Structure 1
Amino acid sequence: MKLVDLESVEPGQNLGRTIFSANGTVLLSAGVQLTVFMISTLKRLGVTMVYIDDPLYRDVSVEEVLSESTKRAVIQQMSESYEALRSGKSFNTKAISMTVDQLLDDVLQNEAVLVQLTDIRTADNAMYVHAMNVCMMSTLVGMNMGLNMIQLKELAIGALLHDIGKIDAPDSPDRQEGRFHHAWRGFELLKMKREYSLLSAHVAFQHHERIDGTGKPRGIAGDEIHLYAKIAAVANTYDNLLADLSEGRRILPHEALERLNAMSGTQLDRDVLVEFMRIVSVYPNGISVKLSNRQTGVVVGQHRGLPGRPIVRVIDKDGDEAVGAKEIDLAQHTTVFIDSVLV
């Protein structure tokens, strides 16, 4: 399969990856033949890029840290919890805890898989996909930093619920200070949950604090910020960058990682960033790239220790007809580099 801009998708092409709705059910299944109506609906929902089943790359798959069943469970549970809060009710803390256990099981089984964040976001599911991504990435970083299982569970719960203070009380320019900030509201809500560690509540409280003291809501700095929150801050910033449409398109992983590096030691913790860079794929499978030797191809494989040096398949063509293919492993061809990403 191949990652393409939705504007270039034509009716009759087959969807390469499942798209989930806001409540965790399947919106469109992988393999479905896209129609004009489906494409228009995806555009209306805010989708900008999708995976397409391309015959030249049908064998290309994306290894996932989380299984589809876990993703559905997390998105569904987040949807139910947020709806409860919007209705003035309490969310089910035990159900959240059990969902986190399921997520942790997947992460432990797939800790060597590079994060590629291939789930398609819509306007309806974006908040839940974001929470899931931040939780999953935070847990992977925590594992790399030597946290034990109790600590990982505390971190995972806090990361999954880090934005819970936004529910039914969105931030506005005059409500982003002190106790009005969603981080403070989230802390006040989570600290009342006796089933959870107070440290989980501090993930919500401090995930917008910055190492140099310029963050919100209290402006604390350095070691005043708990390690869990430092980890969640990096994952949160990265995922928010990928969802950013301010430039008219979604920022790509390699661009987001460059921006994270620019924040190292000032806004984001340097040691956490080092570990984060080891878990994320710079160039996800299925993305089209231009190489320094002027050839173009599609990323088809990854290297755990070298996330910036993937395997690229180059298709030889005679006119519009494919006549052959070769794979260039950038870990082996050390003089060849990815020059740009084609979208």
Structure 2
Amino acid sequence: MKYVHLDSVESGQYLGRTIFASNGSILLSEGVQLTVFMINTLNRIGVTMIYIQDPNLEDVEIPEILSEETKRIVMQQMGQTFAAIQSGKEFNSRSMSISINTLLDEVMKNRDVLIQLTDIRTKDNEMYVHATNVCMMAVLIGINMGFSETQLKELAVGALLHDVGKAELLFDDESLDLKRHHTWRGFELLKSKREFSLLVAHVAFQHHEAMDGSGLPRGLLSEDIHVYAKITAVANMYDNLLFDISLGRRMMPYEACEHMMALAETKLDRDILIQFLKIVSIYPTGSSVRLSSRETGVVVGQHRGLPSRPIVRIVKQDTMDRELDIKEIDLAKHTTLFIEQVL
């Protein structure tokens, strides 16, 4: 599979990964042959990047921490939760807890897989994809930090529901009244949920605080911010830098990591950032890159602990006999070669 911008997709190509709606239903299934109408529809609903099948990459597997079924279950549960809150009803904490247990089991099983945030987003599902990604990253960081099973469950619930205050669309988050900020609203919604630890509510409350006291809504200093909220803040910022267009230009993973490292000890916790950098794929499998040798290729493999030195497949066609010349360059071994650009 190849991860490409929608603008470069042509009619007749085959979709490499299923696209889900916000309620967990399937919009387009993996393997469907794309038509002009489908491509235009994807553009209209806000899709920018998709996976397409590539005959030169059929053997390349993109490891996933969460299965498509688990993502569907979690997104469906998030949709039901937000719908209940918007209608003034109580959301089902037990169902949410069951969904999170499923997510935790899969993350624990696939803990050695590097994070690649390449799920296909639409305007309809982006909030739920964001919540799922933040939860997944937070749990992996918690595992690296040696958290207990109970702590991981608390962290997972808090991270998944960190933006639950946005479900109440009664006020604008940019209001000068900070008690109307979504962090306050999330805290108020979660603190009365006896099924959840009070720490879950504090994740929603504190995930926009900063180490130097410049955050929202209360301007807390580092020592007053709970570690769950610090972890969620790192995961939340990374996903937003990659996908939230309201922040400006969307960053590539390597750019986002560099940006976040520059914020260590002012906005983000340095020790948590170190653990985060161990779980993320800077150059996701399937992405096209240009090397310092001027050759272009596709990332086909990763090295845990060496996220900036992936394996790149170069495919060239001989103009004389039209045969394909395929080679793979392991940047962990070719130390004088570097990735110059993500295409």
> What range is the shorter-chain TM-score in?
over 0.9
Residue equivalent to 1:102: 102
Residue equivalent to 1:68: 68
Offset of residue 172 of structure 1: 3.1
Counterpart-to-counterpart distance in 2, 1:152 and 1:322: 52
Q: Alignment partner of 1:201: what SS? A: helix
1:44 has 2:60 as partner = no
Offset of residue 262 of structure 1: 1.6
Q: Alignment partner of 1:303: what SS? A: coil
Residue equivalent to 1:334: 335
Gaps of 5+ in 2: none
Equivalent residues in 2 for 1:130-149 (5 A)? 130-149=130-149
Equivalent residues in 2 for 1:198-217 (5 A)? 198-217=198-217
Offset of residue 173 of structure 1: 6.4
Offset of residue 179 of structure 1: 1.3
Offset of residue 70 of structure 1: 0.6
Q: Alignment partner of 1:220: what SS? A: coil
Contact between 1:315 and 1:322, CA under 8 Å: does it hold in 2?
Answer: no
Contact between 1:211 and 1:267, CA under 8 Å: does it hold in 2?
Answer: yes
Counterpart-to-counterpart distance in 1, 2:170 and 2:210: 21
Counterpart-to-counterpart distance in 2, 1:36 and 1:249: 27
Per-residue CA deviations over 1:189-229 (Å, capped at 9, x if unaligned) read: 10000110001111000000000100000000111100000
Alpha-carbon distance change, 108 to 176 in structure 1, aligned in 2, over 3 angstroms? farther
Counterpart-to-counterpart distance in 2, 1:108 and 1:173: 35
Counterpart-to-counterpart distance in 2, 1:331 and 1:170: 52
Q: Alignment partner of 1:27: what SS? A: strand
Contact between 2:19 and 2:26, CA under 8 Å: does it hold in 1?
Answer: yes
Residue equivalent to 1:235: 235
Residue equivalent to 2:13: 13
Alpha-carbon distance change, 44 to 170 in structure 1, aligned in 2, over 3 angstroms? farther
Contact between 1:234 and 1:268, CA under 8 Å: does it hold in 2?
Answer: yes
Equivalent residues in 2 for 1:239-278 (5 A)? 239-246=239-246, 250-278=250-278
1:314 has 2:308 as partner = no
TM (norm. structure 2) is 0.97
Counterpart-to-counterpart distance in 1, 2:218 and 2:257: 27
Residue equivalent to 1:169: 169
Counterpart-to-counterpart distance in 1, 2:201 and 2:108: 23
Counterpart-to-counterpart distance in 1, 2:171 and 2:283: 33
Instruction: Provide the aligned C-alpha RMSD in A.
Output: 1.5
Residue equivalent to 1:59: 59
Gaps of 5+ in 1: none
Amino-acid identity (%): 61
Q: Alignment partner of 2:104: what SS? A: helix
Offset of residue 247 of structure 1: 8.2
Alpha-carbon distance change, 222 to 41 in structure 1, aligned in 2, over 3 angstroms? same
Per-residue CA deviations over 1:225-271 (Å, capped at 9, x if unaligned) read: 00000000000000011112258864221111111112111100000
- More deviation in 238-247 or 287-296? 238-247
Per-residue CA deviations over 1:73-97 (Å, capped at 9, x if unaligned) read: 0000000111111111010000000
Residue equivalent to 1:183: 183
Amino acid paired to 1:330: L
Counterpart-to-counterpart distance in 2, 1:248 and 1:60: 33
Equivalent residues in 2 for 1:273-292 (5 A)? 273-292=273-292
Offset of residue 168 of structure 1: 2.5
Residue equivalent to 1:112: 112
Counterpart-to-counterpart distance in 2, 1:177 and 1:190: 20
Counterpart-to-counterpart distance in 1, 2:314 and 2:290: 10
Amino acid paired to 2:331: L
Amino acid paired to 2:213: G
Q: Alignment partner of 1:233: what SS? A: helix
Q: Alignment partner of 1:155: what SS? A: helix
Amino acid paired to 1:338: I
Contact between 1:177 and 1:216, CA under 8 Å: does it hold in 2?
Answer: no
Counterpart-to-counterpart distance in 1, 2:169 and 2:247: 27
Amino acid paired to 1:88: G
Equivalent pairs, count: 342
TM (norm. structure 1) is 0.97
Q: Alignment partner of 1:85: what SS? A: helix
Counterpart-to-counterpart distance in 2, 1:330 and 1:242: 24
Counterpart-to-counterpart distance in 2, 1:121 and 1:197: 31
Amino acid paired to 2:158: G
Equivalent residues in 2 for 1:73-88 (5 A)? 73-88=73-88
